[in-house]
Every structure is written in structure tokens, then in C-alpha cells.
Amino acid sequence: MECPGRVAAVGAVAALAASLHGWSGAGPARMLPGEPGSAASGGIVAPHAAPAVRAHTELAASFRRIILPDLLVVAPKGLTRGQIARLRHVPGVRNMITFDGAEIKVNGAAAGAIGVNPASFRSWVPLRTASDQAFWSALGRGEFVASRSARARLGLRRGDRYTLVGGSRRTLRFAAAGALGVTGVDLLVNSADSRALGLVHRVAALISAPAAGLQTLVRDVRAILGPSGKIVTLRARQLPVTRVRAGQQPASYLQLFKASAAEYCPGLSWTVLAAIGQIESGDGQNMGPSSAGALGPMQFLPSTWKAWGIDGFGQTGPPDIMNPYDAVPSAARLLCADGAAAGGQSLRAAIYDYNHATWYVNEVLALAAEYAADYR
């Protein structure tokens, strides 16, 4: 027989499930380089690549990229092993993660909590939070973290201990607040504390299936979940275009993307260039050659570079496929000639011409939308 607290946690899942909407994950985004000072890739590195992020810990080593979810699914009584196995084999699914959840009490106040494995879950949250090594290290050692709104609402103070009540009581130290990316989720605890609190096991899952058509994906997932399951679609619908002022010598990848879009393709969002640079090379971390022979931070084929490579921002000599100051504006020029500045289907077609795969187009646009949200 389950304890009353466990039953209460199960009963609260309906409220938690109803609130699990508006997830703004991130994507194969990895990290957006943007600050000067590194010798890598021409001296431009990531704005979030702080020393703590590069710490040689298990959590840091496990963080390779951001995964952009296409669907959030919620099963009020928890996903079964059979359902999870079937969901993983839905055509087009490339990544999936499950997590626990329920409504609990924090010093008597209601809060939506989820229980996660920090090493794997951090790849599914917004960029700024995923990049905060201290945030995830604290969660891994048994402290709890919160959304910024929950910190304010619950009056949480860093370093203080609080009583969390679900199926049982746990007194945990509050470590940090950040963007969690799920409306209605207030707190994160690690998997061990989730079990102790009696959160509903595997109550929800995030699914990334960039190559799948959304309508077909939803249909296949709904067939597995049954009538009690809930599905929230998360795929970006439209990419906002940011107007920026040209004429400035870029000092970082962030500035380089903005200046390249403004000068060589007015009307193209710089976030598209950022997404392509991140997906193609991790912004210069993998310069190639690829299996197809592509080179440099924007992974041009030498034949394409011969036609489209330009001297970008103040560099002298022939255009250099390995130099981001040439490669990024060259990519902007190529995309613009293909109609990218018109947006909509023209933008999709231009990205498709850059790399002939529908999943690639979806991932570029989803990652671009994430950059637009995180770097207003």
C-alpha cells in the first residue's frame, strides 16, 4: 500500500501536466562563441565558456551540446518501459529523455518539481542555464535549484535549507536559480532525491525528431501514449529577423555573425549564420575536412568556396576558407544569393541548398530561434 504522500504526489500530476507547456529548449546549439580572447578559431570564443564550464568534471565532460526538443509528452501515471521503447523507435526520433515530476510543498507552499539526471538533462535546457557548471554541480551533489520566478515567489535564499514534501520529506539546500525552460516547473532535484520525495517516475519525456514531419510525429506518438497522454508541440514556427547596424570590425563570433548578415545579406537574421556555424563546426572547433571534403568554420566545399569565397572584414590576400572573418560573410553572401533574405520558404530552400537534408533545415531554424531568444 502506498503512503498518503505518494498518493498525493500522484494526484498532483494532473496540475503539473497541465502546466508543462511552453518548453523553450535549445538545440544542437552546443555553445555560441562571442567573446574575444581565445587563440581558437582566429581568437573568438564562447560568451559562456567560463572557466567553470571548462572544469574537468564528469558533469562538464558530459555536456556536449544543446538538444532542441520537438515534443513534450506527459503520462499522468508515468510512462511504461514498453511505451518508452516504442517512442524511441518512432521514425525520425533522434534523442529522447524522460524525467520524474509532481507538485510538492516547499515550506508549505505548492511548487511543481521534476527529478532529473543532471548530466543528461542539462542538454535540454536553455543555453544560459546549460552553460552554468556551478548550477549543475550543485544539483548533482544533492542541492536543489529553481526557476527565477519560483525563487522570487517562494522567497528562496541561496545557501539556506528548505523542507520539500512529496511522498516523504527532504531537507535540501537551495543552490541557484536559472531559466528551466518549462512553464509551471519551479524546482529541479536530482534522481536520488526524486525517488526519496516520491515524484511520479518518468511522468514526462522530451523528444527530438528534427527529420520527422510534425503531423506524422504527433500521430505516431499519440498512438503510443493513448487517450490519457498529453502532447505539446515545441517546434519553432517562425524565425524573427533582427536588424543590425553594419560597418563595425567584429571582435567576436557574435559580432561577426551580426555584421556579416547586415553587410552581406540585409534581411537575413544573424541567428541563421550562428546556427549554421555551430552545427557545421562548433564555431571553429572542428575545421574539417569532413567526409565530403568540406573545410573551415562554415564547412565550404573547395569548389563552392572558389565561386563564393570573399575577403570579409579587413583581411588582405586571397579569401581564406579557414578564416572565420572570410568564411562567415561568404556564407551570408551565398545564402543571400539563394534568396535567404526573403524569409519563409525561401529561407528554408536556401538552407536546404547549403546542406541537402530536411532535418538540417529544421535544426538550423530551431537553433536560430533559440539564439534569437537568448541574445536579444
- Please state, in angstroms and rounded to a whole number, the distance separating the CA atoms of residues 308 and 304: 6
Does residue 64 or residue 118 have the better pLDDT? Answer: 118
Question: For 165-176, how does the pLDDT look when each residue is reduced to its tens digit (9 = 90+)?
Answer: 998 999 999 999
Q: C-alpha angle with apex 201: 120 to 174, nearest 5 degrees?
A: 60
- Please state, in angstroms and rounded to a whole number, the distance separating the CA atoms of residues 139 and 131: 14
Provide the pLDDT for residue 11. 36
Using alpha carbons, select from 211, 215, 206, 137 the residue that is nearest to residue 176: 137
Provide the pLDDT for residue 374. 74
Mean predicted lDDT score pLDDT of the chain: 78
Question: Tell me, which fold does domain 253-374 have in CATH?
Answer: Lysozyme (1.10.530)
- Contacts of 268 by beta carbon, 8 Å cutoff, 6+ apart: 241, 261, 332, 335, 336, 340, 341, 347
DSSP 176: E
Question: For 250-308, how does the pLDDT look when each residue is reduced to its tens digit (9 = 90+)?
Answer: 778 888 898 898 888 888 899 999 999 989 888 677 787 888 899 999 999 999 999 88
Using alpha carbons, select from 191, 196, 189, 194 the residue that is nearest to residue 175: 189
- Please state, in angstroms and rounded to a whole number, the distance separating the CA atoms of residues 77 and 10: 7
Determine phi and psi for 248, rounding to 5 degrees.
-105, 135
Helix axes 358-374, 270-281, angle to 10 degrees: 120
Provide the pLDDT for residue 91. 93
Confidence bin at 139 (pLDDT 50/70/90): very high
Question: For 342-357, how does the pLDDT look when each residue is reduced to its tens digit (9 = 90+)?
Answer: 777 778 888 988 998 8
Q: Can you tell me which residue has the cell 533545415?
A: 361
Provide the pLDDT for residue 302. 92
Question: For 51-101, how does the pLDDT look when each residue is reduced to its tens digit (9 = 90+)?
Answer: 332 333 344 444 556 677 788 899 988 999 999 999 999 998 989 999 999
Q: Which three cell numbers stand for residue 224?
A: 503510443
Provide the pLDDT for residue 198. 92
User: What Cα–Cα distance (Å) separates residue 241 from each residue in 79, 279, 365?
Assistant: 39, 20, 11
Provide the pLDDT for residue 236. 56
Provide the pLDDT for residue 54. 33
Provide the pLDDT for residue 316. 72
For CATH 1.10.530, list the domain ranges present in the chain: 253-374
The pTM assigned to this predicted structure is: 0.55
Q: Is 121 a residue whose pLDDT tops 80?
A: yes
Q: What is the DSSP string of 76-126?
A: TT---HHHHHHHHTSTT--EEEEEEEEEEEETTEEEEEEEE-HHHHGGGS-
Q: Distance from first CA to last CA of the chain, Å, rounded?
A: 52
Range scoring the smallest mean pLDDT among 51-60, 319-328, 360-369: 51-60
Using alpha carbons, select from 356, 366, 278, 365 the residue that is nearest to residue 324: 278
Contact 151, 111 (CB under 8 A): no
